[in-house]
Structure 1
Amino acid sequence: MKILITGASGLLGRSVFKQLYSNPAFTVAGTAFSRVDENLIHLDLSDSDAVKTCLQEIKPDVVIHCAAERWPDRCAENPDTAWQLNVSSTELLAKQCSEIDAQLVYISTDYVFDGTAAPYSSDDTPNPVNFYGRSKRAGEEVVLKYANHWVLRLPWLFGPVAYLEESGITALLDTLREQKPVTLDHWAVRFPTSVEEVAEVLEQCLLKICCNTKFEGIYQWSGDTACTRYELAHIIAEACELRADHISADSEPNFSVPRPYNCQLDKSRLTDLGIQGKEPLQQQLARNLKTFIGN
C-alpha cells in the first residue's frame, strides 16, 4: 500500500510517518511546507497544480491529512489563514484524491463539540464553540462529501517534540521546572493523547484496509485519562519527580478564545474492530519528557 502523509514534519505527522515507514507493508512519502528535510517533499497545499502533480507522481492509495492549524488562539487571530489550511486546502485535496481513486483520511478534533454532553459518539451532532472547531468541522464536511474518504477525530495531543512548546502538554514541564507561582485551568476536562499511539492506531486501521475492511464516515480516538490542565501538571510532576506546590488552580473558565468543557470522545467504533493502544498516560509522558529532564 502506498501512503502519502501531509504535514509530515508536524507533531502528529512525524510520528505517523515514522510508524508507517517502519512497516514493510507500506511505501510511505511525506510532505511539508515550512520544515522540509531530505526525507520530505515540499508542498504548498493551497497550490492546486502542485497538489495535483504530487498526487499523480506518487499515486498513493491512501493520503493521511495531518497538516492543519491546530492552535485555537492562532486560528482566532488569523482566521483567513486557518480557514485556507483547515478547509479550502482540505477540499482541494479531497477532490483530487477522489479523482485518482485515493482514500483521504482527514485528521479532525474533539473541538467540533461544545463540551456540554460528553461522551460524544461519532454520530452526535457537532456544535463547535470557537473558530478552530468550526474550521475543522467544515473540513470534515468537505471530506465526507466523497464516499471513499473518512475522518479521525482526536483530542489534546502530545508526543516526541523538537521543543517543549510544540505541545501545550509537554510545555507544562517548563512550568514545573521554573518553580514560579502560576495558576492553571482547573475547569476544562481534557484527554491527553499520545501521537505515537495515534500512529499505531492508524497503522492498525490501514492493515485492516489491506485485508478489505471498509472504513467510511467518522471514527474517534482518545487517551483514557480525564484531567484538567492543573491536574495534568501534577501527573507530569509525579512522572518526572518534580515539585508542583507552586501551581494553583483556576476553577472558572478563563480563556481568550472559548473552550468547550468536556469533549470526551467515544472510541468504541475503533475498539470494536479490535484496535487498541498499549501504554498508560504516565508511561507515555515519562518517555517523551525524559530527554528534557535535567536540561
Structure 2
Amino acid sequence: MKILITGASGLLGRSVFKQLSGNPIFSVTGTAFSRAGDNLIHLDLSDREVVKACLQTEQPDIVIHCAAERWPDRCADNPDSAWQLNVSSTEFLANHCSAIGAQLVYISTDYVFDGTAPPYAVDDSPNPVNFYGRSKLAGEKAVLKNSNHWVLRLPWLFGPVAYLGESGITALLETLREQKSITLDHWAIRFPTSVEEVAEILEQCLLKIINGTNFEGVYHWSGDTACTRYELAQLIANTCGLIAAHISANTEPDFAVPRPYNCQLDKCRLTELGIVGHEPLQHQLARNLKPFIT
C-alpha cells in the first residue's frame, strides 16, 4: 500500500510518518512545506498544479492529511490563511485524490462540537464555537462530499516535540520549571492524546483496509484521561518530580478565543472494530518529557 502524508514535519505527521515507515507493508512518502528535507518532499498545498503533479507522480493509495493550522488563536488572528489551509487546500486535495482513485484520511478535531453535551458520537451534530472549529468542520464537509474518503477527529495532542512549546501540553513543563506565579484554566475539560498512539491507531486502520474493511464517514479517537489544564500541570509535576505550588486554578472560562467546555469523543466506532491503544497517559507524558528534564 502506497501512502502519502501531508504535514509530515508537524507534531502529528512526524509520528505517523515514523510509525508507518517502520512497517514494510507500506511504502510511505512524507511531504512538508517550511520544514522539507530529511526524507520529506516539499509541497505547497496552496499551489494546485504542484499538488496535482505530486499526486500524479506518487500515485498513492491513501493520503493522510495531517497538515493544518491547528492553533485556535492563530486561526482567529489569520482567518484567511487558516481557511486556505484547512478548507480550500483540503477541498482541492480531496477532489484530486478522488480523480486518481486515492482515499483521503482527513485529520479533524473535537472542536467541531460546542462542548455542552458530551460524550459526542460520530453522528452528533457539530456546532463549533470558534473559527478554528468552523474551518475544520468546513474541511470535513469538503472531504466527505467524496464518498471514498473519511475523517478522523482528535482532541488535544502531544508527543515527541522539537521544543516544548510545540504542544500546549508539553509547554506546561516550562510553566512548572519557571516557578513564577500563574493561573491556569480549571474550567474546560480536555482529553490529552498521544500522537504516537494516534499513529498506531492509523496503522491498525490501514491494516484493516488492506484486509477488506471499508472505512467511510467519521471516526473518533481520544485519550481516556479527562483533565483541565490546571489538573494536567499537577499530573506533569507529579510525573517529573517538580513543585506546582506556584500554580493556581481559574474555575471560570477566560479565553481570548472561545473554547468549548467538554468535547469528549466517543470512540466506540473504532474500538468495536478491535482498534485499541495500550499505554496510560502518565507513561506517555514521562517518555515524551524525559528529554527535557535536567
TM-score by length of 2: 1.00
Matched, 1:99 2:99: yes
One-letter amino acid matched to 1:32:
A
Write the mapping of 1:233-252 to structure 2, written as runs, cut at 5 A. Answer: 233-252=233-252
4+ aligned runs moved over 2 Å, structure 1: none
What residue is the counterpart of 1:291 in the other structure? 291
For the residues of structure 2 that align with 1:268 and 1:241, how far apart are their CA atoms? 35
What residue is the counterpart of 1:5 in the other structure? 5
Count the aligned residue pairs. 294
What residue is the counterpart of 1:38 in the other structure? 38
What residue is the counterpart of 1:53 in the other structure? 53
CA-to-aligned-CA distance 1:125-173 (integer Å, 9 cap, x gap):
0000000000000000000000100000000000000000000000000
What residue is the counterpart of 1:265 in the other structure? 265
One-letter amino acid matched to 1:92:
F
One-letter amino acid matched to 1:35:
R
SS in 2 for 1:291: helix
The offset of 1:38, in angstroms, is 3.1
CA-to-aligned-CA distance 1:174-213 (integer Å, 9 cap, x gap):
0001111100000000000000000000000000000010
What residue is the counterpart of 2:217 in the other structure? 217
Write the mapping of 1:137-152 to structure 2, written as runs, cut at 5 A. Answer: 137-152=137-152
For the residues of structure 1 that align with 2:55 and 2:201, how far apart are their CA atoms? 24
Consecutive unaligned residues in structure 2, runs of 5 or more: none
For the residues of structure 1 that align with 2:38 and 2:116, how far apart are their CA atoms? 45
Consecutive unaligned residues in structure 1, runs of 5 or more: none
CA-to-aligned-CA distance 1:222-252 (integer Å, 9 cap, x gap):
0000000000000101111111111000000
One-letter amino acid matched to 1:141:
K
Q: CA RMSD in A?
A: 0.4
CA-to-aligned-CA distance 1:70-128 (integer Å, 9 cap, x gap):
00000000000000000000000000000000000000000000000000000000000
For the residues of structure 1 that align with 2:31 and 2:85, how far apart are their CA atoms? 14
What residue is the counterpart of 2:113 in the other structure? 113
One-letter amino acid matched to 1:105:
V
SS in 2 for 1:225: coil
What residue is the counterpart of 2:155 in the other structure? 155
One-letter amino acid matched to 2:52:
K
The offset of 1:9, in angstroms, is 0.2
- Identical residues among aligned pairs (%): 79
What residue is the counterpart of 1:277 in the other structure? 277
The offset of 1:37, in angstroms, is 1.6
SS in 2 for 1:37: coil
What residue is the counterpart of 1:232 in the other structure? 232
What residue is the counterpart of 2:66 in the other structure? 66
What residue is the counterpart of 2:81 in the other structure? 81
For the residues of structure 1 that align with 2:136 and 2:10, how far apart are their CA atoms? 17
